[in-house]
Structure 1
Amino acid sequence: MMLQCTLTPVDTWFFREARSHDAVGVGQLDSIFPPPASTVAGALRTLLGDLLGINWQEFKEGQGKHQDLLGDGEHLGAFRLAELRLCVGGEAVYPAPQDLLRHQTLAGQEETTTYHRLSIGDPLRCDLGEVRLPEMQAPAGSKPLDNHYITQKGLNTWLAGGIPDEATLIPQKELLAIEPRLGIGRDNTRGRVKDGLLYQTRHLRSTGEKDWHLEVLIDGLDEMLLSRLPTTSSIRLGGEGREAAVKFALLQPTAPAADLAADDSAQGITLLLTSPARFNPESELSWCLPGFVPVQNSAGLTTHWQGELAGVALKLIAAVLPRPLRLGGWDQKKRQPKPLASLNAPGGLYYCQKLDDSLPSLAEIQAIQAQAYGEATAWGYGRLQVGWWK
């Protein structure tokens, strides 16, 4: 069985960005959203440990019970975070694909909005080699949909090669409002403030316009623990330990469906990253799909990258990627900040073709999106959705 955890904010939430308070040029620290998987996993592991009666001091020293079940902040045990997703109106939503552009024009008192998609151009010589780069066929001034989400209906349209309706696109500002906060550092032993420790943060508060929550799917828990779980509970989540209401439910694991009809007019497939990913850390190909290697022509110029996903041999022709996602955090065990990590951000796209130039079958598409890729898949990283590249 898989455990479904529904997290709903009771107060403001704050999930600190990677910069530190004392970094040069930092005025206010923003909150990232959705929260890092390590933050959510840590809060839920703490709740499960409390329900199991764990002595946390012994657990910290590696002597307590259930080490193999809950693991630690770096290496999870049997506990696996299969997926962390945002749900709006009871339906899962996904980061808007990076190739979607919006163009707005104002004529008199009326504003007109149109949506477009990037296309992949002919090979050009650049610093990457002789490769195909994205081109904008949209009107000048069109912008990508940063901080937007797409519903399943809109995603199905996009996966089929179309342009989703505006009603299927949800701006994050409809879900969350920014709430600036001013804080001071306190010396509790002396009953006074600490000199120089004045800081500003930007918390997130639900706007109340739409009903939303975070949904966490957890795998690897034994039946004994699942039977002891309450229906509802609460946890302290993120910076300053703000409260979140928790609901538990048991689900039967199911493979993700490939809601994609065959299309002989497609050039290949588009892979949409729906969760953060660590594909090739410590490598100059950290942006690339895991295990893919550059292929060069007779002039020594890279023309594409080649590799395998779920046993399907592919060549990577082009990519449209947002800025890397920078994550840090606090190591409770070592009592020190975690090293900064750069992750491939959700919404990124990879345009691929099979090595034999045929189109993947629906069974191959199903196999590709049934798995997670790269490192740290136990944290829910590396999930892909497959669509047609037209």
Structure 2
Amino acid sequence: MAEPSALLFVFEPLDTLFFRTGRPFNQDDPGAALAESLFPPNPPTLVGALRAALARLLGWSGQNDWPADVKAALGDGDRLAAGLRFQGPWLMRREPDGGWHRLYPAPASVVEMQVGTPAGRRFRRLQPSKTVLQTDLGPDPIRLPAPATDERDAAFCRRPNGLWLTADGLSAVLKGKVPGQAPPGAPRCWYDEAELWAVEQRVGIGRDNATRRVEDGHFYIASHIRPARGVALALQVSGLSAELRAKVEAHRGELGVVSLGGEHRAAWLSCVAPLRPVFERTADAARRVAIALTPVRATAAMLEPQASFAGHDGLKITMVSALRADIAGGWDSVGSRPMAQHPLLAPGTTWHITCDRDLRDEDLPRSLGGMTDWGYGELIWGHDASSGGT
């Protein structure tokens, strides 16, 4: 949902993109000589690129430290200016009408039957199992994820890799259903990752700039991302100063070519109209589903059965459908040193929540974890259609 006075900035790739993961990369180690690329990247990558572009609008030369007026408008290093807030990165797709539409990571609670039908793929929804188990996770019994139709279907279900939902597809999930197979000519409910981008392997060498000779052992392979035509990344920003907004408008929203990610890749940066709200308000209920739309800076309590959710004593975790956790790091360009690494829960991680009373949408937290003003931990809430108890 667009916040008042929010602006939406879109990064359209001009060629391949390369975003490093937190995995070690060492050319001398054959097992770590492949540099994987993460797509979409973690929030600080796009936030840094956008802040640098906005700093140039305020007169920064692109070298040396930011002037005091730039720091007042955008912050300094990992400290954002007061009131400044980013949401994203969002994966975007340009539709035939020319407008940008957001795509959403498929919730981890959506699984696929291994045997399809002539009409297309068959999806199922996971819910807390009817069987209660005692485990070493604590004294409280837990319920494992099980298919909503028949728990015996679990042997035939798998997680669909790289599934992205349209607003229609995610809306179905929020109502306790699954994405449908759209008939020919109708708006689609989902896209496969292979339809949105491709992975290209690039081979590189390390060269001594002084001698222009190849350095021993400096041979590496990097995985670049080539987005399909009409696929882009976006950040929504609120809290920009009136001066910055005026400068963006003076450029008619076209900020030009910016550096994005590693290996000096580039994208065209523009400011477009914010997205309109597309999801209906869910009915007040004591059973809810929370879905992470961007990476979440993880803590152990986020995965504990019966733990409070998002620090809210009235919200208890019944079940979590989690994807493989990742590690986020980074490079401190000012201090010339690596940044501390943090575990991340992947977008699509889904929590089944029991509330101590019927809660309205307005009463529910919209973000989870740390650095939410950078774009981490964006949540959306839906209806829990499961019938099992807690």
What letter is aligned with 1:206?
A: P
Query: In structure 1, what is the Cα distance between the partners aligned to 2:116 and 2:89?
Result: 38
Assess if the C-alpha contact under 8 Å between 1:59 and 1:67 holds in 2. Answer: no
- Of 303, 307, 323, 1:305 maps to 307
Query: In structure 2, what is the Cα distance between the partners aligned to 1:26 and 1:226?
Result: 44
Aligned pair in 2 of structure 1 residues 317, 24: CA closer, same or farther (>3 Å)?
A: farther
| Residue 291 of structure 1: aligned partner | none
Equivalent residues in 2 for 1:153-192, closer than 5 Å: 153-166=168-181, 167-192=188-213
Q: CA deviation at 1:74?
A: 2.0
Assess if the C-alpha contact under 8 Å between 2:287 and 2:384 holds in 1. Answer: yes
SS in 2 for 1:227: helix
Query: In structure 2, what is the Cα distance between the partners aligned to 1:104 and 1:111?
Result: 14
- Of 262, 274, 277, 2:296 maps to 277
Aligned pair in 2 of structure 1 residues 262, 336: CA closer, same or farther (>3 Å)?
A: same
**TM-score normalised according to structure 2 size:** 0.83
Q: CA deviation at 1:134?
A: 1.3
Q: CA deviation at 1:37?
A: 1.0
Indicate yes or no: 2:102 matched with 1:104.
no
What letter is aligned with 1:115?
A: F
Assess if the C-alpha contact under 8 Å between 2:282 and 2:382 holds in 1. Answer: no
Q: CA deviation at 1:234?
A: 1.4
What letter is aligned with 1:84?
A: P
| Residue 145 of structure 2: aligned partner | 134
Indicate yes or no: 2:245 matched with 1:226.
yes
| Residue 317 of structure 1: aligned partner | 318
Equivalent residues in 2 for 1:1-390, closer than 5 Å: 1-22=5-26, 25-54=31-60, 58-59=64-65, 64-78=68-82, 79-88=84-93, 89=95, 90-105=100-115, 113-121=121-129, 122-129=131-138, 130-136=141-147, 137=151, 138=153, 140-166=155-181, 167-208=188-229, 211-229=230-248, 230=251, 231-232=253-254, 233-249=256-272, 251=274, 259-262=280-283, 268-280=287-299, 284-285=300-301, 287-288=302-303, 304-306=306-308, 313-355=314-356, 358-360=357-359, 364-368=360-364, 371-390=366-385
Query: In structure 2, what is the Cα distance between the partners aligned to 1:83 and 1:319?
Result: 23
Q: CA deviation at 1:111?
A: 8.8
Deviates more, 1:135-144 or 1:118-127: 135-144
What letter is aligned with 1:377?
A: T
How many residues end up aligned between the 2 structures?
356
Q: CA deviation at 1:372?
A: 2.3
Assess if the C-alpha contact under 8 Å between 1:105 and 1:112 holds in 2. Answer: no
Aligned pair in 2 of structure 1 residues 112, 160: CA closer, same or farther (>3 Å)?
A: closer
SS in 1 for 2:48: helix
Assess if the C-alpha contact under 8 Å between 1:98 and 1:144 holds in 2. Answer: yes
Assess if the C-alpha contact under 8 Å between 2:110 and 2:124 holds in 1. Answer: yes
Gapped runs of 5+ residues in structure 2?
182-187, 386-390
Assess if the C-alpha contact under 8 Å between 1:38 and 1:73 holds in 2. Answer: no
Assess if the C-alpha contact under 8 Å between 1:28 and 1:199 holds in 2. Answer: yes
Query: In structure 1, what is the Cα distance between the partners aligned to 2:109 and 2:219?
Result: 41
Query: In structure 1, what is the Cα distance between the partners aligned to 2:176 and 2:116?
Result: 28
| Residue 297 of structure 1: aligned partner | none
Assess if the C-alpha contact under 8 Å between 2:42 and 2:89 holds in 1. Answer: no
Identity %: 30
Query: In structure 2, what is the Cα distance between the partners aligned to 1:57 and 1:174?
Result: 39
CA RMSD of aligned residues (A): 2.6
| Residue 184 of structure 2: aligned partner | none
Query: In structure 1, what is the Cα distance between the partners aligned to 2:40 and 2:339?
Result: 19
Query: In structure 2, what is the Cα distance between the partners aligned to 1:58 and 1:29?
Result: 29
**1:187-226 Cα distance to aligned partner (Å, 9 max, x none):** 2122222221111011011233xx2221211122111111
What letter is aligned with 2:370?
A: E
Q: CA deviation at 1:58?
A: 5.0
Query: In structure 1, what is the Cα distance between the partners aligned to 2:272 and 2:197?
Result: 26
Assess if the C-alpha contact under 8 Å between 1:258 and 1:365 holds in 2. Answer: no
Aligned pair in 2 of structure 1 residues 105, 111: CA closer, same or farther (>3 Å)?
A: farther
Q: CA deviation at 1:248?
A: 1.6
Q: CA deviation at 1:380?
A: 1.1
Deviates more, 1:170-179 or 1:122-131: 122-131
What letter is aligned with 1:235?
A: V
What letter is aligned with 1:359?
A: D
**1:307-366 Cα distance to aligned partner (Å, 9 max, x none):** 566x782222111111112212221111122222111211011111122xx433xxx223
Query: In structure 2, what is the Cα distance between the partners aligned to 1:48 and 1:307?
Result: 36
SS in 1 for 2:144: strand
Aligned pair in 2 of structure 1 residues 308, 5: CA closer, same or farther (>3 Å)?
A: closer
**1:168-200 Cα distance to aligned partner (Å, 9 max, x none):** 121111111111100111221222222211110
Assess if the C-alpha contact under 8 Å between 1:312 and 1:354 holds in 2. Answer: no
What letter is aligned with 1:202?
A: S
